[in-house]
Chains A and B, each alone.
Chain A
């Protein structure tokens, strides 16, 4: 596969000089995201996110499996990220690039390790049967900031997802098909989102949100902050690059919180709209077999 074309010296200079003059290529402000849009498919658990020209599709699915021997009371939850040549010809099938490894690790830390999904509620019969939830992330088009878009897509897909309803009677587990019983949502605890800052300039003194691909190629460092709308930080990843002043990082975290609040409100609104769209006949309350806690 061909290597990703590196920006020429002229391009590099152009982007950097424009940034020195406080201008971005698409005339955005430094702390402004490109238009973020999420759409849900007809199926449960399919979320398509577009962030400018970056497109990510996430699909959540579930099946009954045997839990891990060392964690008999927990369900299985995994996030699969595989970048295909569709995102960029430089990605190869079955050969993970650095971008892919970093992306999957960040999603793992943000969504899985922060306990966003209640894995204990996925347990059906201790030590014998549990739900295994899987999210597949497909990057359709890579135009920078894949991390934030993917994280948003994963959270959106999981919150939209419904797993088949089950019941246990006399030690016999029954999994109901969608035709028999309305599927139920997952046990969701909080919604973490990633906010990625890119740093430019000799000492990383310029910080930009939501860098495009051209900007990503000339940046000197980046920092991904994952937090939820309550301001609880799940992780901060500043992997290599130019060192950044602590004060700048603190400012970045504060701005990240306001962005996450926006994301959270937007996702809540979109999910409510989708529920309304599905509930055209107004019968979903009758159909559900779920009990209030």
Chain B
């Protein structure tokens, strides 16, 4: 199975939803749809702000506690960037359908009780942001996310960006970080054993991926040094995806 190194995305892939996006990166393929603002149910209605509803649906099997956990984490961080105060008593509904996850050829997985891996979080997050942009939901900022694993190799700690399923098994800790477009930390979730020093390293690496300043704007192609070549530039990716979409939409002009 080939795993694409560079992230790929398509906006407005579903004809019926208000906004939708399909995103694939590091073996994960996710489709998201956003409907909103729509009428909220009585129990979800909030007098001052919109309720953000996130549904994560695994490709096979029924969702369990892990999916609910992912949903709650995504819900709380997305509520931060969506201008929820603009839509009192409304509902913004985000459905994330997982289509494929990177396979591990060395284990036969238990499939029916889907237990999602922690490392799917950045992919879910990124798809949700793209779908929100496609649905033209007003947001304070856009956001980018990445996953970094800390692996100990020959008594030395090594950071792996976008680890594979096997690397996660061997990793000591896995971290998911998301940053807004104002370079603010939006989400930090960690799993496993790690020290403060390690977390700082992870933070720097993730920040490099998520918040690279725009240097290529002037048309001068920068030669990427070794440090930058370690991971994709998520912010540039988000921007170019949207630019492509806008260019295609305004083609008639």
Interface centre among B1, B29, B111, by most A CB within 10 Å?
B111
Instruction: Given A136-B60, A136-B61, check contact A46 B17 (CB 8 Å).
Output: no
Instruction: Given A84-B55, A178-B103, check contact A134 B61 (CB 8 Å).
Output: yes
A46 to B15, CA, bound (A): 21
| Residue from the list B16, B100, B105 in contact with A53, Cβ < 8 A | B16
A93 to B52, CA, bound (A): 15
Interface check A138, CB cutoff 8 A: yes
Task: Please name the residue on chain B nearest to A87 by beta carbon.
Answer: B16
A221 to B148, CA, bound (A): 55
Q: Closest Cβ of chain A: how far from B100's Cβ, in Å?
A: 6
Instruction: Given A43-B1, A61-B61, A177-B106, check contact A140 B111 (CB 8 Å).
Output: no
Q: Is the interface of B mostly helix, strand, loop or mixed?
A: loop
Which residues of A sit under 8 angstroms from B61, Cβ to Cβ? 61, 134, 136
* A89 and B38 form a contact (CB under 8 A): yes
Interface check A143, CB cutoff 8 A: yes
Task: Please name the residue on chain A nearest to B110 by beta carbon.
Answer: A63
* B107 and A177 form a contact (CB under 8 A): yes
| Residue from the list A63, A85, A140 in contact with B35, Cβ < 8 A | A85
Contact with A along B41-80 (1 / 0, CB 8 A): 1000000000000010101111000000000000000000
Q: Which of B61-120 contact A (CB under 8 A)?
A: 61-62, 93, 95, 97, 99-100, 103, 105-108, 110-112
Interface check B31, CB cutoff 8 A: yes
Task: Please name the residue on chain B nearest to A63 by beta carbon.
Answer: B111
* A53 and B15 form a contact (CB under 8 A): yes
A132 to B93, CA, bound (A): 33
Q: Closest Cβ of chain A: how far from B181's Cβ, in Å?
A: 27
Number of interface residues of A (CB under 8 A): 35
Instruction: Given A41-B100, A134-B112, check contact A89 B105 (CB 8 Å).
Output: no
* A138 and B35 form a contact (CB under 8 A): no
* A86 and B17 form a contact (CB under 8 A): yes
A176 to B108, CA, bound (A): 8
* A141 and B2 form a contact (CB under 8 A): no
* B55 and A85 form a contact (CB under 8 A): yes
Which residues of B sit under 8 angstroms from A141, Cβ to Cβ? 14-17
How many contacts A-B (CB < 8 Å)? 90
The size bracket of the interface on B is: 20 to 34
Which residues of A sit under 8 angstroms from B111, Cβ to Cβ? 61-63, 134
Which residues of A sit under 8 angstroms from B173, Cβ to Cβ? none
A84 to B95, CA, bound (A): 8
Which residues of B sit under 8 angstroms from A41, Cβ to Cβ? 29, 99-100
| Residue from the list A46, A134, A178 in contact with B99, Cβ < 8 A | A46
| Residue from the list B17, B29, B39, B108 in contact with A175, Cβ < 8 A | B108
Interface check B33, CB cutoff 8 A: yes
A136 to B95, CA, bound (A): 16
* A84 and B16 form a contact (CB under 8 A): no
A59 to B103, CA, bound (A): 14
Interface check A179, CB cutoff 8 A: yes
Which residues of A sit under 8 angstroms from B103, Cβ to Cβ? 43, 178
Which residues of A sit under 8 angstroms from B108, Cβ to Cβ? 63, 164, 175, 177
* A59 and B95 form a contact (CB under 8 A): no
* B60 and A61 form a contact (CB under 8 A): yes
Which residues of B sit under 8 angstroms from A142, Cβ to Cβ? 16
Q: Which of B1-30 contact A (CB under 8 A)?
A: 1-2, 14-17, 29
Contact with B along A139-154 (1 / 0, CB 8 A): 0111100000000000
A164 to B107, CA, bound (A): 10
Instruction: Given A43-B100, A89-B93, check contact A138 B57 (CB 8 Å).
Output: yes
Task: Please name the residue on chain B nearest to A135 by beta carbon.
Answer: B60
* B39 and A2 form a contact (CB under 8 A): yes
Task: Please name the residue on chain A nearest to B99 by beta carbon.
Answer: A57
A-B contact pairs, 30 of them (CB 8 A): A1-B39, A41-B29, A41-B99, A41-B100, A43-B1, A46-B59, A53-B15, A53-B16, A57-B59, A61-B60, A61-B111, A63-B108, A63-B110, A82-B57, A85-B33, A85-B35, A85-B93, A86-B14, A93-B55, A132-B112, A134-B61, A136-B60, A141-B17, A142-B16, A143-B15, A164-B108, A177-B106, A177-B108, A178-B105, A179-B106
Extra 18 A-B pairs, beta carbons < 8 Å, given A85-B55, A89-B38: A1-B41, A41-B99, A41-B100, A53-B15, A82-B57, A84-B95, A85-B33, A85-B95, A86-B97, A87-B16, A88-B16, A89-B93, A136-B61, A140-B14, A140-B31, A141-B14, A141-B17, A177-B107
Q: 9 tightest A-B contacts by CB? A: A179-B105, A86-B95, A61-B111, A61-B60, A86-B33, A53-B15, A178-B105, A89-B35, A2-B39
